[in-house]
Amino acid sequence: MESISVGGEVGGAGGAYSYSALKRLDQLWTGICSAQTVVQEPQKVVSTNPGSFSNSELANKALDKFDVIVCGGTLGVFIATALCSKGLRVAIVEKNVLKGRDQEWNISRKELLELVKVGILAEEDIEEITAAKFNPNRCGFEGKGEIWVEDILNLGILPAKLIEIMKTRFVSLGGVIFEGCTLSSISVYDDAVVTLLADGNILSSKLIIDATGNFSPIVKQIRRGRKPDGVCLVVGSCARGFGSNSTSDVIYSSSTIRKVGNSVVQCFWEAFPAGSGPTDRTTYMFTYIDPQPGSPKLEELLEEYWELMQDYQGVSLDNLEIQRVIYGIFPTYRDSPLPAAFNRVLQFGDASGIQSPVSFGGFGSLTRHLGRLSSGIHEAVSGNFLDSYNLSLLNPYMPNLSTSWLFQKAMSAKQLSNVPPDFINELLHANFQSMQRLGDPVLRPFLQDVVQFGPLAKTLGLVMISKPQILPSIFAQVGFPVLLDWSGHFAMLGFYTFLSTFAEPVIRPFLSAFSPQLRYQWIRRLEAWKYGAGLDYEL
């Protein structure tokens, strides 16, 4: 790792490649694991100041006034550009230079077209940012059979190019970028929210959008430094020297539960052709962990990766030229998405917890929700519906995300268990086999992080009929309390499906007669039903 160039390092998840950055991340991860319930007493970033900002001493010192300030630019530039295109005055505060990483993001064209629909990306831009295209895509579990699909995560796009396009578009629409600026504090007044930067500059706005990611200091304050409920650890590399390089793996398991460090883990793979060369390939190994003392470090997982990857891909490390090493920690909480805890402050992207607790696909989640969020935020700012209650309607309870928690729990190795070591592979194979039998309307939404009531009920029913012998192991693996909690979310998934299908068509014609604030609130509820039931997804 020390011999690999790290000139392309940037901020954000997966943006660092150096050994020293790996050590720093492992130190952070060790602190999370060793904590009992609270990682550390969080810094107080946001404070509430009753009264008017216009009457305060800071009012004359403010550098500029905006409708919205977005903190964090890697994913924040997308919502910032969308809001700019709707006529709002928007600024981005980014602690680094605003640019994307060298390592490609994998996504489908269908998901990218959501950015076109919002109006911030042109369809011809898709060709410009696409470095690799490949099909088909494999799902398989340790010799139990394989399932092949088309057009799932089958584009490798260049984040550096995409964010450059967004940045140019944002500025052309009148957006302002403060690069190399660290957020110091946020003060919420009755009529504005004030951002104090570390260099002493003061910015005021109507709304702050926190897009600073999984380790947002604002989220730490809101959650009071609480330990994450689950974590996905990811290690991998982009290397040159692979022979067969035209297909991808969406999820693949090449082994049963194994010991890494002082813990046991179930490892999974993703693999994608890279656009940097015909024999370049990116392979990721990931595992789900309940953060506890003794959990494996990223460096230990990386050592395991080098050993297992050679058998998995049928190559020798001696024949590969490593371009970069990849690693990341993706924490998640059961009570997500995160409601607004303050007036005039809203979490967005990974900071909001809107992404799936199984895939942690922040960019894919962003594309699906950007349309509703940009419209909702524009309405909230225009109508001054910026109290915590109205902002929380933009990050509502979504039962399809909550039901996904069972999948993460089922895919996490238990440290002390009488469950067979191949149970996780057996369970996943049974589920994927059932989804394949039920066809694309069931399989494809799930592979793109959309859980729907009908497809989920059919899949679980078919698994119970075809593989009844694995039911006792399911109870042993996830535990009765988790299953009981999940049953409530599953029932709500069905209820939201009913509301979106039958109640929404009755309510929507009456919205025009409502007051602006009531109309705003009911539109958000209708969206919560639709997105919370996964009915926004279309084949």
Q: Over the stretch 491-514, which tens digit does the pLDDT of each residue have?
A: 999 999 999 999 999 999 999 999
Q: Is the pLDDT reported for residue 17 higher than 90?
A: no
Q: Which of 472, 469, 444 is nearest to 537 (CA)?
A: 444
User: What backbone torsions phi and psi does residue 70 show, to the nearest 5 degrees?
Assistant: -105, 120
Candidates 105, 68, 115, 86; CA nearest to 361 is: 105
In the predicted structure, residue 60 carries a pLDDT above the cut 80: no
pLDDT at 102: 87
What confidence score (pLDDT) does residue 64 get?
A: 81
Per-residue pLDDT tens for 204-229?
A: 999 999 999 999 999 999 999 899 99
Please say whether the dihedral angle defined by the alpha carbons of residues 249, 255, 258 and 264, taken in this order, is positive or negative.
Answer: positive
Residue-by-residue DSSP string for 142-202: TTS-EEEESSSS-EEE-HHHHHHHHHHHHHHTT-EEEET--EEEEEE-SS-EEEEETTS-E
Q: How far apart are CA 127 and CA 425, in angstroms?
A: 37
- Is the per-residue pLDDT at 145 higher than 90? no
The CATH architecture to which 46-100+160-225+335-384 belongs is: 3-Layer(bba) Sandwich (3.50)
pLDDT of amino acid 15: 74
Residue 77's nearest CA partner among 396, 348, 378, 382 is 348
Q: What is the pLDDT of residues 247-297, one digit of tens each?
A: 999 999 999 999 998 899 999 999 999 999 999 999 999 999 999 999 999
Q: What tens digit of pLDDT does each residue of 373-390 get?
A: 999 999 999 999 999 999
pLDDT score, position 429: 95
The model's confidence at residue 156, banded by pLDDT at 50, 70 and 90, is: very high
- Residue 356 in this model has a pLDDT that exceeds 90: no
The mean predicted confidence, pLDDT, of the chain is: 93
- Tokens representing 30 are 């060790």
Alpha carbons 33 and 310: distance in angstroms, whole number? 30
- Domain residue ranges in the chain: 19-39+228-332, 46-100+160-225+335-384, 399-533
- Please name the fold of domain 19-39+228-332: D-Amino Acid Oxidase; Chain A, domain 2 (3.30.9)
Residues constituting the chain: 539
Q: How far is CA 60 from CA 53, 54, 192, 325, 488, in A?
A: 10, 8, 14, 48, 52
pTM score of the predicted model: 0.95
* Residues 6+ away with beta carbon under 8 Å from 412: 230, 266, 287, 288, 289, 290
pLDDT surpassing 80 at residue 59: no
Name the pLDDT band for 142 (thresholds 50, 70, 90): confident
